[in-house]
Amino acid sequence: MAVELKVPESGESITEVQIGAWLKKEGDYVRQDELIVEIETDKASMELPAPASGVLARVLKAAGQIARVGEVICIIDETVPTPKQDRAPSAGSATPGEKPAGASAAPTFVMPAARRVLAAAGVKAEDVVATGPGGRVLKEDALRHVEQPQAGPSVAPTVSKEPQPAPLVGRHEEAVPMTMLRRRIAERLVEAQHTAALLTTFNECDMSAVQAFRRQYGPAFEQKYGIRLGLMSFFVKAAIDALKLVPVINAEVRELAMPDGRLAPHIIYKNYYDIGVAVSTDHGLVVPVIRNAERLSFAEIERAIAELAARARQRQITVEELTGGTFTITNGGVFGSLLSTPIVNPPQSAILGLHAIQERPVVRDGQVVIRPMMYLALTYDHRLIDGRESVTFLKRVKECIEDPARMLIEI
């Protein structure tokens, strides 16, 4: 009996996906719930399992092609009996670079990082010794295979008396289709530039108090909660404090119907704070959302950021976790950015950009001293946020960071 694998619904606004890498090829035997193909939406990536055990009879959509939700992308023939499994080799029987006896000709699964290494080196995954759980090929396996010297016939070098011409340096181009996620990012950025009146204002803050706070309480915090006390939780808390002071920055412009039926822009104020934290992954920038962040403690915020970022990088993030934010924070400082003008993530009205911490001379009490300073940037939609509100917001964030106790007693 033939079983069809259809593109599942991945979100309310998602109508099509892009086929990623096929983890199995036609003729391979697959087991039910075994991952066989990657798909990419305009918000996230995911891997689809086999709906039944059998032979992958036909692949109807090749990697890179677009498929609509509900469309059949492959057919599995479940009439083929389950093949006998070779006995697994004992642990330690294989050394790096040597295939263990009885090993399968094809690995169960190749991790995305390993797949990129192998593709760049022109190496087949079947030639690599898999050491990951369930026979997965890890990035370390791929690097070990690529870097090890390849055995080959020994040929004595010949010495020519004729001068040899210098080799020409090759020049080439490579065309790589944009992923659905990258396309969507591009569309959203262009949309923000075309529909909003974007303006950026700047300030800087002294990070001395936060650094001292982390040095004093960081070890006890990590011992109690099992997670490191980072910088982002301070800025999430400070941003929420400033958003409460300037509610219009947590609002958005939305077209709604008037009593006469005409559509007109309205300002939608929100009394909740769903903070998006930008995460850079190997497949693009994604912004997981921390729901009701105003109700969370420092530890809960740090844990939420760590879990969402890990799932985003492993392509396990859900569409629901990437939508619905009211305000976004992005930290270009982790890559060394000193100053930038971030672009608003529609339909939000503002975004806070953090930058690298650098020791700079500043004046304190009439004296020039060296302090760890960070530039802050707030890009906002000038249609509903004026300069007074934007400057007030950044000034409040600065005050909270330079004196974290303010956030606790709300002054």
Q: Would you call 355 a catalytic residue per the annotation?
A: no
The terminus-to-terminus CA distance of the chain in angstroms comes to: 69
| CA-closest candidate to residue 374, choices 352, 395, 357, 398 | 357
CA dihedral 252, 254, 258, 263 (to 10 degrees): 150
Instruction: Find out whether 393 and 377 touch, Cβ atoms under 8 Å.
Output: no
User: Looking at residue 14, what DSSP letter applies?
Assistant: -
H or E segment and range at residue 127: none
CA neighbours within 13 Å on the CB side: how many for 191?
12
214: buried, middle or exposed (CB in 10 Å: 19+, 13-18, 0-12)? middle
Instruction: Find out whether 159 and 132 touch, Cβ atoms under 8 Å.
Output: no
CA 381 to CA 199: how far, in whole Å? 7
Residues 6+ apart with CB under 8 A from 140: 131
Supply the Cα-derived Rg of the chain in whole angstroms. 27
- Give the 3-state secondary structure of residue 70: coil
CA 43 to CA 46: how far, in whole Å? 10
CA 405 to CA 238: how far, in whole Å? 11
CA 85 to CA 107: how far, in whole Å? 14
> Active site residue: 33, 127, 386, 403, which one?
386
Residues 222-257: b if buried by 16+ CB within 10 A, e if exposed: eeeeebebbbbbbbbbbbbbbbeebebbbbbbeeee
Q: Would you call 382 a catalytic residue per the annotation?
A: yes
CA 249 to CA 239: how far, in whole Å? 10
Please name the residue ranges forming H helices in 226-319. Answer: 232-245, 298-313
> Active site residue: 28, 33, 86, 382, which one?
382
Catalytic residue set: 382, 386
